[in-house]
Amino acid sequence: MVDVRATNHKLRRRAVRIVAGATGLDEEAAATLLRDTDDEVKTAIVVARAGIAPAVARERLAAHGGIVRAVLEGTRHDRRGTTSY
């Protein structure tokens, strides 16, 4: 369900809960992260879990067919474009 597109309030709340659950962030931090990643749930999860910038997360998601797990397994030791949330 991480492919949810937050097009209304209900879906935005769901996206916040998904990001919070997948990253361990509180809902306020998850909402901020979603805003910073243009409401892209997968990008937000990768940014938080891998500690990389949104642009780098998007590149890696594209390179791994949009599969979050594959991106995270491939970025455990590569901290290019790091960020923190």
Assigned domain for 84 exists: no
Residue-wise pLDDT for 4-51, tens only, equals 777 899 999 999 999 999 999 999 999 999 999 999 999 999 999 999
**CA dist., res. 45 & res. 41, Å (int):** 6
Assigned domain for 4 exists: no
Assigned domain for 36 exists: yes
CATH of the domain at 49: 1.10.8.1080
Assigned domain for 48 exists: yes
Residue 54 Cα distances to 8, 9, 10, 20, 78, angstroms: 22, 23, 24, 17, 15
Residue 5 backbone dihedrals phi, psi, to 5 degrees: -105, 115
Residue 13 Cα distances to 30, 37, 48, 68, angstroms: 10, 15, 18, 20
Overall number of domains in the chain: 1
Q: What's at 61, amino acid-wise?
A: L
pTM above threshold 0.85: no
Assigned domain for 85 exists: no
Q: Which domain holds residue 19?
A: 9-74
